[in-house]
Chain A
């Protein structure tokens, strides 16, 4: 099955600097890559996603890049702010249906992003 590796596990940056979180996946058939932000004690919230037919997607200060050949994708946050502090998860899915059901999203283990004032 799919395996998603996420690095780093903890990332500390100065407020205003950029943050980059990287993920690699194993199944070349994966075609959907969402990123979620989780604040303490809450459920994850989707912040951006990308599908395999594009290489980059931006939404204000957040961008995601995808390299299908290398099987990795990255989250970029520019001009970081204190409210960006949270745990970020990447995920991948092939979207295949097997045995009557669908392959689920496979999540990375998360990156704890700390924004230093």
Chain B
């Protein structure tokens, strides 16, 4: 099956700890994205990557970091500097890096910081 996988589905962490969310795609897409979703809100872009070894900040990058060492993987680290990390995190990918290319989303990871 082709698609985007995110793991784990639910994640609990103590305040002050860094945590890394996994995102893998086997669609051979060049571009990958991370969004954050809060209750009753739309999706907000955290980081995106057009190609391997390159990534750009989105609208709410503070307190987050990413890497893109492989085409199929785009992990997101939520650092202790993120003031309000509890949220639903969504990873997406698109065939090319153009932002008007269709973006396909993974199932999401719900992060709860205690």
Contacts and interface: CB of A to CB of B under 8 A. Distances in A.
Contacts of B97: 102
Interface residues of B, number: 29
A89 B42 contact: yes
B84 interface: no
A103 interface: yes
Max chain A CB contacts within 10 Å: which of B57, B103, B104?
B103
A31 B100 contact: yes
Interface string B84-114: 0000001010000111101111111010000
Contacts of B40: 9, 109-110
A51 to B, nearest CB: 7
Interface residues of A, number: 32
Contacts of B100: 31-32, 51, 93, 95
Contacts of B105: 36, 43-45
B56 to A, nearest CB: 3
Contacts of A93: 99-100
Contact of B48 (A4, A46, A102): A102
Interface in A88-115: 89, 91, 93, 95, 99-110
B53 interface: no
Contact of A104 (B4, B41, B59, B90): B59
Nearest to B33: A104
A38 B33 CA distance: 17
A9 B5 CA distance: 29
Given A43-B108, A102-B50, A104-B33, A34 B102 contact: yes
Given A100-B56, A109-B41, A110-B42, A46 B106 contact: no
28 contacts: A4-B42, A9-B40, A42-B107, A42-B108, A43-B4, A43-B6, A43-B90, A43-B92, A43-B105, A44-B90, A44-B105, A45-B105, A46-B102, A46-B103, A49-B102, A89-B43, A93-B99, A93-B100, A95-B100, A101-B48, A102-B98, A102-B99, A104-B45, A104-B58, A105-B45, A105-B103, A106-B42, A109-B42
